[in-house]
Amino acid sequence: STPVRDRLRIAIQKSGRLAEPARALLASCGLSWRESRDRLFCYGESLPVDLLLVRDDDIPGLIADGVCDLGVVGRNVLLEQGGGRVGNGAAPAFREWRALGFGGCRLALAVPDAWDWQGPEQLTGKRIATSYPALLSQWLAGQGIAAEVVLLSGSVEIAPRLGQAEAICDLVSSGATLTANQLKPVMTLLESEAVLAGPVETLDAARGELAELLLRRLDGALRIRH
Ligand code: PRP
Ligand code: ZN
Ligand code: MG
């Protein structure tokens, strides 16, 4: 059994696009922290709410394992890992609690500029490079298309030029990376943004009350922003 924790622990991205806005949003909820020397753990001062600074891809797993209670992560990461868990027969352990209104992007299918795009059936028998195999496979299955999913953990956009794949499925924000790689987006699989993720099961008493307090403040902060 895991030891009882009476402090709430929130995982956020250590560095990257969501890191600063996540901290700023939590600070606007009245949270403040004392930073440790390794700068990976921030001890909550105004409330017993600590921050853990991690890789965004680790956040759903940390919630599933009960290491962290909440996390700020892209919906794309949450749904990809949720889909992967269900595909492996595991119970859903985390879910989206709130959409946070920043870090907007979309998961898109993109093909070389030179393609004369007619529709998804053109992908039949093709190789598609992605870091989102579960979401891409779900979409392909929904379209009834048999294509090969090539898993790459990064720099997906270069795969067509390297001959590893004919198309890609990756996040698009400004579109600059696609343009730089002579690709064009042709389908949107998912509209994404930063979300507050939490467990499917309710938290126990002390941390549950802290989470409720935080959600009330968060909803207030989100209302002011919109
Ligand atoms: C993301 C994503 C795309 C790029 C899209 O990568 O994977 O490659 O940003 O943004 P754009 O449309 O504004 O060019 P990121 O730079 O976050 O690095 P990663 O792929 O290593 O996660
Ligand atoms: Zn990442
Ligand atoms: Mg990238």
| Helix, strand or coil, per DSSP, at residue 114 | coil
The CATH code belonging to domain 8-103+193-225 is 3.40.190.10
Report the chain's C-alpha Rg in angstroms.
19
Q: Is 15 in the pocket of ligand 1 (CB under 6 A)?
A: no
Cross-strand pairs, 117: none
pLDDT digits (tens, 9 = 90+) for 42-99: 999 999 999 999 999 999 999 999 999 999 999 999 999 998 888 889 888 999 999 9
pLDDT digits (tens, 9 = 90+) for 168-210: 999 999 999 999 999 999 999 999 999 999 999 989 888 999 9
pTM tops 0.90, yes or no: yes
174 close to ligand 1 (CB < 6 Angstrom): yes
Pairing of strands 70-74, 8-13: parallel
**Amino acid identity at 199:** P
Q: Is the CB of 177 under 6 A from ligand 1?
A: yes
d(CA 151, ligand 2 centre) in Å: 14
- From 54, 166, 151, 154, select the one nearest 112 (Cα to Cα): 166
Distance 156 CA to ligand 3 centre (A): 6
Which residues of the chain does CATH 3.40.190.10 include? 8-103+193-225, 105-192
Give the CATH number of domain 105-192; options: 3.90.420.10, 3.90.1170.10, 3.40.190.10, 3.30.870.10: 3.40.190.10
Q: Whose CA is nearest to atom 20 of ligand 1?
A: 154
